[in-house]
Structure 1
């Protein structure tokens, strides 16, 4: 009998705080479990030491007969307090540290949705802040509970029992890999479909297979565009041509204009030499004025064809934005060239006025008297006198 007591005492001396032991559950109560860990008395596992997560009832986590790895957190002659959570954390922190250093992801089931994010159990309590759950804003996280998610460790501190995880980091890496593949497969000159993501003053960003490319405002149409909103709207599906790809800087230049028929093609057959057409002065240069006669189509009025008098510069007669009429002297859509004249219309107008004056009947005198009548009357009066 004395020998058995000595063995128990020796066993008691062998157990120290922070030791990891194996025990079998002998009894389950609502707020604690009893475990035979080879000590002279059964060890107690409080409900708070069963898991890194909140536990309602002990029976939700363990049953009689279960074998558990446990950490000694308190030991006295007649009391032994053990922790399942502590034993799991001891092993988990080492594994998590190795995972963190390697940069490899882990998988975990979302155990709780709390204010500010999500909670998982990976041997220790891990927290995923709301801003690190998705790449976009999420208002309600309730659907995430029970989901298994892939995560990256962004902060780890075993001493502070702190583990911050990110699902967004995994999604960002996936998006970057997809972007890289898309950039490698894009070919300059190809026409692809895309979705307009956002508009700016200088153009529109279009998603082409997961990568945003820029359609500069100068590439939106064949005619001058004041605002990208004139041509496209956010969310619209469009066709674009790939102008340039810079995989290193992740930049793609796109064009809507190059997917559309050229303006010179569309006007072919519409205009003939001798036609008088309306236009708008777009540019003034030293040798004349360029007048837009159709969207994206400009003709030249040479300085000698601007007025029926000598002028030093086109700006003496015309200004940019001015609406004018001009006569087509020559047109060649294949060469994208139209020669125009404003002077000929002025000369024609002057000639027409001259002809009108020459053929205009003299104004009649409707007074009812002529000079002969008046003199004749006076002569008659004189003779009678």
Structure 2
């Protein structure tokens, strides 16, 4: 990270700095115990908030990832965070799968909150799949967008469309079908696809997750034809029978597959499926087979 101020270089270090390249460096510190010199080639090291400005793109090292954010180091003792919507190009991904500890990436400074000693950055690139919602002005009625469940409340789901913009999905707008104990079908940080119903009042955004509303205008939801054997999905248990469990797949247009009791994890006793699963349980499944004619899926849990 101390190699250069140009964050783009880290995408292809071998090309930018082939073996034998000559570098002009400065000694930052000396590790007497291990006989190691700590060097920097930066002409403008980041040592405090004063060394950065909003809009700067700087190299950053991943310190850790959590379900909803990435913590990064911009310089010694200078930390920043990137909320999940600002970190991911594709909201179908998981932060832990994209970012690993000690990764170096390009971070764009979005906000410097001096009173609270916080720096917020974006890790998104130019080829981001999901568009970024920076303000309510970026939304209009009928837009289909993706976000992440921030809170499961009595009045519905509160969905984060970005770190600043949140939408409410009222209970009546959650699904076309009746969901008994609907709260069981949703969890915090779960990705969802919705259609904007109202974004006129500042701070008030209403959204629906009904497939009948969303699928007509979006290519975001996967159709049966888009699913392939071997793919892994998260989903919710919709029905439990003696012969298996029916699971509704996340991010798909009302697609439900059957996980036969013989395909349920080996470390679970499948003699009584009802004691293992409950309606609304969150599960991860793998596509085993597709029946194109009957539009049916076979799953492995």
Asked if Structure 1 and Structure 2 have the same fold, meaning a TM-score greater than 0.5 normalized by the shorter chain, the answer is no
User: Which structure has the larger Rg?
Assistant: 1
* TM-score in terms of structure 1 length: 0.29
Scaled by the length of structure 2, the TM-score of the pair is: 0.35
- Which structure's relative contact order is higher, taking Cα pairs within 8 Å and 6+ residues apart? 2
Structure with greater proportional helix content: 1
